[in-house]
Structure 1
Amino acid sequence: MQETRTAPARAAIDIGSNTLQLLIARCQGDSLDILVDEEEMVRLGKDVNAHGEISPQKREEVIDILQRYKALAVEHQVESIFVVATEATRKARNSQQFLNAIERAVGVKTQVIGGEVEAMLTFYGASYEYYRQQGAPDPLVVMDLGGGSTELINAQRGKVKWLTSVPVGSGWLHDRYMPSDPPTEDERDLAQVFLKAYMDGTRLKSRPEALIITGGSAKALLKMARAALELGDEVQRLSFMDVVRCDGLLSSLTAGEVARRYGIDEKRAAVLPAGATIIQAVMTRLQLCEVRISTHGIREGVLLAYARHGDDWLATLESHGESAGSKKSTSTGAEMVTETFAETGRRLLSEGARKMGEWRAEVLKNEDVEAVHKMRVASRRLRAVLDAYEDICEPKAFKKVYSWTRELADMLGQARDTDVMIQNLQQREEEAEAEEKEGLNWFIARLRVYRDEHQLALARYLKKLDEQKLLRLIDACLPKEGKRHG
C-alpha cells in the first residue's frame, strides 16, 4: 500500500448516458488509493433517446462539470487525465461536434469507447478487489448497468472468456417504457415483457458462481436497501427478495419521496425503478438468489488498464475486447439457449401476433369491455417484442409491422380509455346528489355515442385485417438465416 501512496495521481472521467463521474487515484499494479470520487447526474441519454442528439443545454452542462473536474485534477497535481464516453455519445448524431466543443472549452480529449472496451474496463474496475479475496468463487460474471447500455462479462481465473454489450440501460428503459412517476403497473408489465424477450434470445451462461453488478443504479439500489430494509452499511450483497422488496417500494413512491427517504439524487431515483427491473430480469435469467454490488467500475478500470498497459492501454483493450467478443456466439457452459437470437425473435413475434388475434372476435362482438383491454395489452406486448429485436429485423418489414401494431394499439387505447371513463362516471353517478346525476347522465350518454362510433371504426379496421398476411410480414421481419446475437 505504501508504494501505491507514492505513485503519481491520475484522473479518470466517465461521460455516461446518465452521469458524469470523476475518479482521482494513485495506482500501482492492482491497487488503487482513491483521493477523489465525484458524480453528477446529467441524463445525456434522455436527449439522445428523444431527439437523436445532444442538446446545446446538455452540452454546456457537461462542459461546466468537466471544467470543475479539471480544476480538481489540477488541485491534486495529477499526472494525466483520461476521459471516456459511452453509449449516449456513441449514438448521438452530433457526437463529433459535442467532442470538439469539450476539447475547445476544457482542453481535454475524449475517447469514445465501444461496448466491448466498456465491458473490459468495467471488469477491471469491478473485480480488482474481488480477486484479492481468498477463495473467491469462480467463474464470475460482471454486469455494468449503465444508463444507455448494459455490459456482461464472463471470466474464469481472472481472465475474460466472453462478453457482450446490449443497448438497454436504466435510462433507456425508463424513457421508453417506464416514464411515469412512479411507473404504472401497465408500464412495468411492458418493460418486463421487453426484457424477457431480450433475455430469452441472449446466449448467457446459467448460474455463475457469482454476479457482481456495478453502475449508478446498482449503487443507488444498494443504498436504498440498506436504509429501507435495515441491512447495515457494511452489506454489499442483495438477495433476490431484497431487490423485489425495494422494487415494491419503488412502485408506490415518487422519485421525490425516494430521494427524501433514502438520500438518493432525485434524477437517479427517477430511473431507479427501471434499473431494479433490469437487475431482476438478469437475476431471473441467470437463476441467481443473490448479487454483489460493487462501487467500482469504468473509471477504476481506466486507471488500472493504464497501470498495466501504459500508453497503449486503449489499443490493448480493443484487441482483448474483440477477441473475447468473438466468442459471444459460442458455448460457454451448460444450460445454454438452444435458439439463436433471431430464432427466438421469430417465435416470440409469431406467438405475440397469434395471442393478439385471439381477441379479435370478442372485440368485434362488443359484448365484453375487457376484450378490448386484453387485445390492447397483447398489441402493446407485441410492440415490446418488436423493440427487443429491432436491431436484427429487416427494416422495411419491421417498419410496416411496427406501424400497424402501433395504429391498432392506439385505436384500442381510445376505446379502452372511453370504457374506463364510462365505468368511473357510472360509479360516481350511483353516489351523486340528484342535481349532479343529471349532468353525469348527460356526459355518460355522450361518451356512449362516441364509443359506439369508435366501435364502428374499430370493427371496420379489424374486418379488413388479413391475419395470415400479418404473420407472413412478421416472418419477413426476421429472415430464416438471421444473424446471431450475443
Structure 2
Amino acid sequence: MRSTRKAVIDIGSNTIRLVVYDGLPRAPMPIYNEKSRVALGACLAGDGVINSATMKKALAALGRFETLARAMKVDTLRVVATAATREAKNGQQLVEGAAALGIRVEVLDGETEATAAGLGVISDNPHANGYVGDLGGGSLELIRVADGKLHERVSLPLGTLRQEALKGKTTKQITQMLRQEIAVLKGEDGFPYEPNLPFYMIGGSWRSFARLHMHDAGYPLTILSNYQIPPDAPTRLMPLINDEAALAQTKVIASARMAALPGATALLAAVVRLLEPRELVTSVYGLREGLLFDQLSDAERREDPLIAATRFEGERLARFPFHGDALADWIAPVFAGQSDGDARLCRAACLLSDSVWNVNPEYRADHALDLALDGNWPGVVASDRAIIAAALWTVHAGKRTLPEMLANLAKPGALAQAVIWGLAIRLAQRLDGGTGRALSDSRIEGDDAILRLRLSGQATRLRSNSVQRRLQALAEALGYGRSEIVTG
C-alpha cells in the first residue's frame, strides 16, 4: 500500500494552522500539527481592516509553515483562507503578500467552506445522517448531511470573534436570531429543521466544551473524536462556563480559549433549541480533512475509513507478510450470524492483531489495549474502540480478565463477543506462528456439539497440544461441548 504525504495550511480567523498527513488517501493520519494564534478575525469586530502587525505575523507564519511542509517532502500542499481573509477590507493584501513568498492562497467563499466542513464529517462517518456545525472565529457553517452526501448548507456571520451580537441575549433570543439569519440567506423554507438527529460539532471552542464535559462526567478517555454529549449539556454547564474562576480551577480549558467559551456555549445551546438534536457529537475532522476527501475518487470515497486505517497500520507493524484480511476471512465462519457492524469491528481487530510484537511480552496486552483505545482511528465511537481493545487484549493476554475501564465504555455482551474474536485470532496465530501460511489449508467449523479444526496439505504437520488447547478455549467460549482437530 502506497502512502501519500499531504499538507494543508488553513488561514482561519483565530489561528493559522499547518497539518501534515501521511498514510492512505482514504484515512489520512496527522503526523505534524502546528498553529500560530494570529487572530486575523479580530478586524471583523472592528473596522474590518487587518492591521500591519497582524499582517506581518500572518505572513511570517505562512512562510514558516510552507518551509516546514516542503522540508517534510509533502506530495501536495494546499493553502486556504476562510472568513477573516475573505471579509477583511484588505484581505487581498494578505493573498498578495503570500504570493510574494511563493505561496498561493485560495480564499474560500462561505459555500465552499461549509461544503468542506460537511465533507470532513462524511470522511470520518460515511453514513452520518444529521447536521454539521463548524464554528470558527468569523463564521458558523450549518450543513445537513445524509447518505454520504451534503444537502442544504448555510454560512452565518457568527463566530467566536463576533460575540458582541450574543451578549445579553437569552438562548431563545439567540435561537430566533439564528432562524432569522438563515431565512435571510436561504428563504423561509430553504433550510430544513429535522429533530432527533445527531449534531456534529467542529471547531476549537466546541472541542473545548467537549473536554469540559468529559471532565464533568468523569469520562475515562481523553479522545475527542466522535465523543457523544447529551443535548442538555450546554445549558447544564452554562453556570460553570460563565464562572471564570471556577472554570480556571478545572484546569481543562486552555487560557486562550476561556474568553470565547461562554459565547460558543450560548451559541451551541441555541443550535440545540433550533435543531433539537438527539445528541451532540464532537468531530475532529473538519475543513482540512474535507478538502482532502474532496480530492478522492468515487472508489476511494466508498472505502470504510476504519478498515483502511487499521489495514495500513497492521501492514506497517506486522512481523510477517501481511495477512490480516485473510485472518478475518478465516475466523468469519464461526461468527456467521453477527451483524455487519460487528463484522467490521472484528475485521479491524484482525488487521491490528500482529501490531505489538516489538513490545516486551509482559506488556503486549497493555500496548494492544492502548493501540485500540488511543489510536487515531476514524469512523468509531468510544464503545467501538473498547470492543476492538477487548479482542486485542485477549489475543495477547489469553484468559486474563479484561481491564475494568472497558466495561465503562461498552456493553457486557459486546465485550464478551470481542473476547471470543480474540480467542479465534489467538488460535490462528498459534497454528502457524502468526505467519498466515496455514490459513489456506485449514478451516474451523462446528456442528451442534463439536468445534472442529480441519487441517490439510502442509498444515497437517502443525497439529500440537498448544493448538488443541487454544481450540478448546474457543470451543468453550462458543458453547460447544468439545473440540477436535481433524487432519487429511
**TM-score bin (small chain):** 0.5 to 0.7
- Structure 1 match to 2:476: none
- Structure 2 match to 1:120: 115
SS in 2 for 1:31: coil
1:192 Cα deviation (Å)? 5.6
1:276 Cα deviation (Å)? 0.9
How is 1:266-305 mapped onto 2 (pairs within 5 angstroms)?
266-305=255-294
- Structure 2 match to 1:237: 228
- Flag the 1:72–1:259 CA change in 2: closer, same or farther, 3 A: farther
CA distance, structure 1, for counterparts of residue 38 and residue 134 of structure 2 = 18
**Aligned partner of 1:168 among 154, 158, 167:** 158
- Structure 1 match to 2:317: none
- Structure 2 match to 1:99: 95
**2:105 corresponds to 1:148:** no
- Structure 2 match to 1:43: 39
CA distance, structure 2, for counterparts of residue 65 and residue 258 of structure 1 = 31
Offset from partner CA, 1:420-464 (integer Å, 9 cap, x none): xxxxxxxxxxxxxxxxxxxxxxxxxxxxxxxxxxxxxxxxxxxxx
**2:196 corresponds to 1:196:** no
CA distance, structure 1, for counterparts of residue 97 and residue 39 of structure 2 = 18
1:91 Cα deviation (Å)? 0.8
- Flag the 1:65–1:117 CA change in 2: closer, same or farther, 3 A: same
Contact preservation (8 Å) 1:154, 1:162: yes
AA of the residue aligned to 2:176: K
Contact preservation (8 Å) 2:193, 2:274: no
SS in 2 for 1:171: coil
**Aligned partner of 1:252 among 243, 252, 260:** 243
**2:211 corresponds to 1:220:** no
CA distance, structure 2, for counterparts of residue 171 and residue 110 of structure 1 = 22
CA distance, structure 2, for counterparts of residue 43 and residue 195 of structure 1 = 27
- When normalised by structure 1's length, the TM-score is 0.55
AA of the residue aligned to 2:179: M
CA distance, structure 1, for counterparts of residue 41 and residue 34 of structure 2 = 19
**2:254 corresponds to 1:265:** yes
**2:129 corresponds to 1:139:** yes
5+ long unaligned stretches in structure 1: 179-186, 310-486
CA distance, structure 1, for counterparts of residue 36 and residue 238 of structure 2 = 24
1:188 Cα deviation (Å)? 4.7
- Structure 1 match to 2:80: 84
How is 1:423-462 mapped onto 2 (pairs within 5 angstroms)?
none
1:53 Cα deviation (Å)? 1.2
AA of the residue aligned to 1:85: A
1:119 Cα deviation (Å)? 1.1
SS in 2 for 1:37: strand
1:177 Cα deviation (Å)? 4.1
CA distance, structure 2, for counterparts of residue 68 and residue 264 of structure 1 = 27
CA distance, structure 1, for counterparts of residue 118 and residue 196 of structure 2 = 15
1:253 Cα deviation (Å)? 1.1
CA distance, structure 2, for counterparts of residue 52 and residue 201 of structure 1 = 20
CA distance, structure 2, for counterparts of residue 247 and residue 18 of structure 1 = 23
**2:104 corresponds to 1:109:** yes
SS in 2 for 1:81: strand
Contact preservation (8 Å) 2:238, 2:265: yes
- Structure 2 match to 1:319: none
- Structure 2 match to 1:209: 197
SS in 2 for 1:164: strand
- Flag the 1:200–1:120 CA change in 2: closer, same or farther, 3 A: same
- Flag the 1:126–1:139 CA change in 2: closer, same or farther, 3 A: closer
Q: Which has the higher contact order (CA 8 A, sep 6+)?
A: 1
- Flag the 1:120–1:150 CA change in 2: closer, same or farther, 3 A: same
- Flag the 1:194–1:156 CA change in 2: closer, same or farther, 3 A: closer
5+ long unaligned stretches in structure 2: 183-190, 299-488
1:24 Cα deviation (Å)? 0.6
CA distance, structure 2, for counterparts of residue 27 and residue 238 of structure 1 = 30
- Structure 1 match to 2:333: none
How many residues end up aligned between the 2 structures?
A: 287
Contact preservation (8 Å) 1:141, 1:208: no
- Structure 2 match to 1:9: 5
1:227 Cα deviation (Å)? 2.1
- Flag the 1:100–1:75 CA change in 2: closer, same or farther, 3 A: same
Q: Percent identity?
A: 26
SS in 1 for 2:195: coil
SS in 1 for 2:232: helix
1:201 Cα deviation (Å)? 6.1
- Flag the 1:60–1:308 CA change in 2: closer, same or farther, 3 A: farther
Contact preservation (8 Å) 2:195, 2:276: yes
AA of the residue aligned to 1:198: L
**Aligned partner of 2:28 among 28, 32, 35:** 32
Offset from partner CA, 1:249-278 (integer Å, 9 cap, x none): 111115xx7456334332322111111111
Offset from partner CA, 1:293-345 (integer Å, 9 cap, x none): 10111111122223449xxxxxxxxxxxxxxxxxxxxxxxxxxxxxxxxxxxx
1:61 Cα deviation (Å)? 1.7
Offset from partner CA, 1:358-378 (integer Å, 9 cap, x none): xxxxxxxxxxxxxxxxxxxxx
- Flag the 1:31–1:271 CA change in 2: closer, same or farther, 3 A: same
SS in 2 for 1:223: helix
Contact preservation (8 Å) 2:132, 2:199: yes
Contact preservation (8 Å) 1:171, 1:274: no
- Structure 1 match to 2:148: 158
- Flag the 1:259–1:73 CA change in 2: closer, same or farther, 3 A: farther
CA distance, structure 2, for counterparts of residue 264 and residue 97 of structure 1 = 34
CA distance, structure 1, for counterparts of residue 10 and residue 164 of structure 2 = 21
Offset from partner CA, 1:133-187 (integer Å, 9 cap, x none): xxx5x53211111111111111221011211111112221x24444xxxxxxxx3
AA of the residue aligned to 1:152: L
Offset from partner CA, 1:215-259 (integer Å, 9 cap, x none): 1111111122222332332460111232223322111115xx745
AA of the residue aligned to 1:197: M
- When normalised by structure 2's length, the TM-score is 0.55
- Flag the 1:87–1:208 CA change in 2: closer, same or farther, 3 A: farther
SS in 1 for 2:28: strand
